Amino acid sequence: MIYTNFTPGPSQLYFTVSDHARLAFKEGIPSLSHRSKQFEKISKETTGGLRALLNIPEGFHLFFTSSATEIWERTIENLVAEKSFHLVNGSFSKRFYEIAIQLNKKAEKLDVKEGLGFEEGIVAPKDAELIAVTHNETSTGVSLPLSIIHSFKKNNPDALVAVDAVSSLPYPQFDFSTVDCVFFSVQKGFGLPAGLGVWIVNQRCIEKAEALNKKGISIGSYHNIPSLLSHALKNQTPETPNVLGIFLLNKVVQDFLRKGIDNIRRETEYKATLLYQALEHHKLISPFVKDKNYQSKTVIVADCQEHTEKLTKFLSEKGVNPGDGYGSFKKTQLRFANFPAHSKEQYELLVDSLSAFEG
Amino acid sequence: MIYTNFTPGPSQLYFTVSDHARLAFKEGIPSLSHRSKQFEKISKETTGGLRALLNIPEGFHLFFTSSATEIWERTIENLVAEKSFHLVNGSFSKRFYEIAIQLNKKAEKLDVKEGLGFEEGIVAPKDAELIAVTHNETSTGVSLPLSIIHSFKKNNPDALVAVDAVSSLPYPQFDFSTVDCVFFSVQKGFGLPAGLGVWIVNQRCIEKAEALNKKGISIGSYHNIPSLLSHALKNQTPETPNVLGIFLLNKVVQDFLRKGIDNIRRETEYKATLLYQALEHHKLISPFVKDKNYQSKTVIVADCQEHTEKLTKFLSEKGVNPGDGYGSFKKTQLRFANFPAHSKEQYELLVDSLSAFEG
């Protein structure tokens, strides 16, 4: 039986990836020097493709890191002298906050219960230099409406806004005039092997990092923003990066561009609608996130209670591998990624299988 | 024509890697959760294989990072409160020193000219907490005799000894009773795609990191030693790692074990002898490192002066891709990696081609 991996990351590979990997080995990409013209060309195509796909304006720079976890750390190191402010509504937004504490910052947070989101009109502490927000809580399936993220600047014009878009991109179209940095890792929505993160920063981030550096605050070394920037301007990286990962990202971004971001968004919405409808009409299971405004389109969480184990087995027999619930929800929830790698047909199979489950 | 890549990293892939990569995609490794039993098994096999290959004693732990560059940073963050001491004899040992300065430590260094090494009897400043040494200077082809590295503890019993073995492992057999941490990245001697570093640390390193943490000194977040350790004890990693890279490392380590480390070392020495003899007898070019005790077995640098460009072209026509000289030596030197991925036959072709060059 062919299994489809609905875990929210690492997830199903995009269907072209194994062919691209074969080509990479044929062309000697894994041996390619990261100081070669050929690497610079691949790097430039990748960032150019991402700019086109996500509609990233001039004035923003794209940096390659090893993971989004790394970007949590680099964001705090480079953009916060003393205080960051975190919207916490699940395990991943909480981890971002904890990293700030580990880095000896005076981080503050606004907590809401798992399964809930935040409303417009949030005012951060006056001395918060950064507002850190997780667009899509992979742990609970709560996605913040973009209008909320885009509204932060209104009440907090001096704070930088950092958006963790790990399990939502390429789906959301951010208004980049209202945010300062956005980041993701490639093993979720881009359907790629793990080991690469992308950090998108604007001029205000660069100036902030330079200001901290001037004050004698450590902003890290090889992956601080000035070092990343000086190399990115040459389409290079400070260290020997995951060259194969960057090559594969480029190929998938080109595939996405050919398919068209509008198509990808439409299909994402179609598949999400299918699954939420099935969950809402089901006798035994239901969507964990009740408020439709906060229901994630890309990570859909089903509240399955005592049926969880049996449902997992039932789905597995149909070729559907769901993701476990996260943390304390491991035995009562299932999570379903809805990424571009998941085809409409696979979603139809998932929904048919779910609907056929009678306990 | 089939080209052999003699650049010292990223270098020639070990000949089994592309088959292992094909298997990885077939088995769904790039989609594998880093919290799954299957990942833990791969991770455990990899560290177990490295322990056997490099004869790493109990009491040492192995951590996966994204690069050796990252390990420079993590070593300073976790093992130095105030002062590190660096033996600098080329661009990479210098970079290690500079990272300590960037991280606001009071780093000191002992400098010698490029092409030279250090002698036994080095005494570090009394307050140096760490002695940082680069076993094999990839920039110049200077390798320190192991006896020198093993002697540090005698005069400096209280300092930790950190060994950058990036372009020498798996060749050297370190005496782990005289060093505290050793590290490498996989795209050099292990013949793998870049994007993974391995950090080997002992109990003293763990205690030092914990002591710094207790004092309120920031030791980083997800990749600090306590976090790496607590995950490594479960054969996991703090973040989603380069799972494919770890899988491939495991496969190549198993290949190396089957071949036998003694065979690998003997072949390395045979190939190095061939090339140094050819360089010494050549009318136009010569080894850059004059003192035989310091001539690297794994990165061999030829002083080619005005013949560099012509020789590069000449070799290229024979299927030999040399590495450029590093930094200011770009136009006067060529570098040749001598890793397990480079077969005896490829070395014989290299040496025959070099010997046939008459300017």
ipTM, interface predicted TM-score of the complex = 0.96
pLDDT given at position B359: 86
Shortest CB distance from B221 goes to which of A17, A99, A244?
A99
Distance from CA of A223 to the nearest CA of B (A): 9
| Cross-chain residue pair B10–A240, CB shorter than 8 Å | yes
Smallest CA–CA distance from A341 into chain B, residue: B31
CA distance B144 to B136: 7
| Cross-chain residue pair B17–A11, CB shorter than 8 Å | no
Tokens of residue B17, six digits:
């890697």
pLDDT given at position B136: 98
Confirm if B320 and B307 have CB atoms less than 8 A apart: no
A123-180: pLDDT as tens digits = 999 999 999 999 999 999 999 999 999 999 999 999 999 999 999 999 999 999 999 9
CA distance A98 to A92: 10
pLDDT given at position A45: 98
How far lies A124's CA from each of A85, A306, A347, in Å? 7, 40, 40
pLDDT given at position A3: 86
Which is it for strands A320-321 and A323-324: parallel, antiparallel or unpaired? unpaired
Mean pLDDT, to the nearest integer, of A103-112? 97
Smallest CA–CA distance from A77 into chain B, residue: B220
Residues in chain B: 359
A196-211: pLDDT as tens digits = 999 999 999 999 999 9
| Cross-chain residue pair A195–B238, CB shorter than 8 Å | no
Find, among B210, B207, B341, the residue nearest to B267 by Cα.
B341
Contacts of B221 in chain A (CB under 8 A): 72-73, 76, 98-99, 102-103
Confirm if A107 and A75 have CB atoms less than 8 A apart: no
How many pairs of residues across A and B have Cβ atoms under 8 Å apart? 167
- Best of B239, B249, B324, B346 to substitute, by most chain A Cβ atoms within 10 angstroms, is B239
pLDDT given at position A105: 97
Question: Per the confidence metrics, is the pTM higher than 0.90?
Answer: yes
Find, among B70, B71, B144, B146, the residue nearest to B110 by Cα.
B144
CA distance A194 to B239: 10
Distance from CA of A121 to the nearest CA of B (A): 31
Amino acid in position B158 = D
Distance of CA A196 to the CA centre of its chain: 12
| Cross-chain residue pair A195–B245, CB shorter than 8 Å | yes
| Cross-chain residue pair B21–A21, CB shorter than 8 Å | yes
CA distance B298 to B114: 17
- Best of A32, A65, A66 to substitute, by most chain B Cβ atoms within 10 angstroms, is A66
Reported as a pLDDT band with limits 50, 70 and 90, residue A1 is confident
Omega prior to B10 cis, within 30 of 0? yes
Shortest CB distance from B13 goes to which of A3, A31, A241?
A31
How many other β-carbons are positioned within 10 Å of the β-carbon of residue A83? Answer: 18
pLDDT given at position A176: 98
A66-93: pLDDT as tens digits = 999 999 999 999 999 999 999 999 999 9
A285-340: pLDDT as tens digits = 999 999 999 999 999 999 999 999 999 999 999 999 999 999 999 999 999 999 99
pLDDT given at position A343: 97
Percent of chain A with pLDDT over 70: 100
Contacts of B104 in chain A (CB under 8 A): 216, 218
Which is it for strands A333-337 and A323-324: parallel, antiparallel or unpaired? antiparallel
Tokens of residue A74, six digits:
């680099």
CA distance B302 to B288: 5
How far lies B288's CA from each of A116, B124, B282, B310, in Å? 65, 28, 13, 18
pLDDT tens string, chain B, 359 residues long: the values are 788 999 997 899 999 999 999 999 999 999 999 999 999 999 999 999 999 999 999 999 999 999 999 999 999 999 999 999 999 999 999 999 999 999 999 999 999 999 999 998 899 999 999 999 999 999 999 999 999 999 999 999 999 999 999 999 999 999 999 999 999 999 999 999 999 999 999 999 999 999 999 999 999 999 999 999 999 999 999 999 999 999 999 999 999 999 999 999 999 999 999 999 999 999 999 999 999 999 999 999 999 999 999 999 999 999 999 999 999 999 999 999 999 999 999 999 999 999 999 98
pLDDT given at position A359: 86
Tokens of residue B169, six digits:
């492992």
